[in-house]
Amino acid sequence: MTKRILLGVSGGIAAYKIPILVRLLKKAEMDVHVIMTKAAQHFVTSMTLATLSGNRVWDSMWDDDHTPSVAHISLADKADLAVVAPATANVIAKLASGIADDMLTTVLVAARCPVLLCPSMNVNMYNNLIVQRNLRDLRQMGYHILDPDSGFLACGWTGQGRLPEPEAIYEAITYLLAPKDLTGLTILVTAGPTEEPLDPVRFITNRSSGKMGVAIARRAAMRGAKVVLVAGPLKVAPPTGVKVISVRTAQDMLEKVTSYFPSTDIVIKAAAVADFRPSQPWSSKIPKDELGAALHLTKNQDILGALGSSKGAHQVVIGFAAETADAIERAGKKLKNKNADMMVVNDVGLPGAGFDSDTNIVSFLFPSGEVEHHEMMTKDAVADLILDRAKALRQAKRG
């Protein structure tokens, strides 16, 4: 179901970032309705935001013929979430005092949906005792506050007051919109490749970026789970709100996963773990002419198999099978041999399903022999589907 977002823009220089935020929201198929203060229009135009959002931009309580409108009520009633970015000291003060003297503040006073404020201002203004009191009062009233970043400010000062980047605001929005249906569950996710050292400068690895595992961890946290992410070297930033355990080798990952496993309800093993490691890594760089003779490999312990063989009655273990041929058949053997509850199967040779892609094409394979095939979708969407199935499997085990 499409989410309807009210996006309030007030008069701060950081308003220049808002067109990017609108693009991110529209890309996620959200219905964005922008409300601007008069001051905001000095920094970004209503035409820009109307074009990007595909909706009228509201900037007045009055229609063009100067007749009063009740749009502030209909906008408030239909919203799933209201966001103010940037939220200036003036707007923050008005909301804390219940003042409704323009379209933005009037809509917010009428809103019954969650409200996210993204303060942005000079560091001295932000640290002003009145501003801080107003923010504390708003938090106590149930408003959500995304703290500003620190750094060089447009006014020339350095300190806290920068509007977070659009991607961070978007993530806060998606967190607030996500159902909290995984609250009370502990989910362990593995992500990324492992690196098996041959000598101090060479190692064996694979093409995994960690995007899929990171997406699962992020969406699980947004849906209320307590998340532990055990990750090899990632090509993407780990999500906020999760406990991140960084590892390098398959042995490192095995040790960390094994230590957290007893207190875990669901394990989703999305990491691409190296199957083999050099038998005896060299302490110094191997001369090139000796490299072939030095390359002796030893098989790493199967982490998914170890978890499947030791899982409790109510624990759910989900694995990944990245294949390039006979994907379902090979994944079926892995599912049985590793005693997993579900395998996520993807043919990494397909366009849009390979490593480092923002999309994936997956099938879900169950011990009953049932197979679910899915079309190409974003990795966030795949993550939610996996979590949906994991939740159902967990509920089935608990009766």
Does residue 69 sit in helix, strand or coil?
coil
In sign, the C-alpha dihedral spanning 236, 242, 247, 250 is: negative
Q: Is 155 a catalytic residue?
A: yes
Distance CA 78, CA 319 (A): 40
Distance CA 32, CA 7 (A): 7
Report which of 34, 127, 39 is spatially closest to residue 82, judged by C-alpha positions. 34
Output 147-151 pairs: Cβ under 8 A, ≥24 positions apart: 147/119, 148/118, 148/119, 148/120, 148/121
Distance CA 343, CA 366 (A): 7
- What residue has token string 């923010």? 135
Q: What totals of helices (H) and strands (E) does the chain contain, helices first?
A: 14, 21
Structure tokens at 92: 């923050």
E strands, 221-354, in order: 226-231, 243-246, 266-269, 276-278, 297-299, 316-323, 342-347
Q: Is 351 left (phi over 0), alpha (psi -120 to 50) or beta?
A: beta
Report which of 117, 86, 241 is spatially closest to residue 175, judged by C-alpha positions. 241
Q: Which of 155, 201, 295, 392 is catalytic?
A: 155
Which sequence positions are flagged as catalytic?
Answer: 155
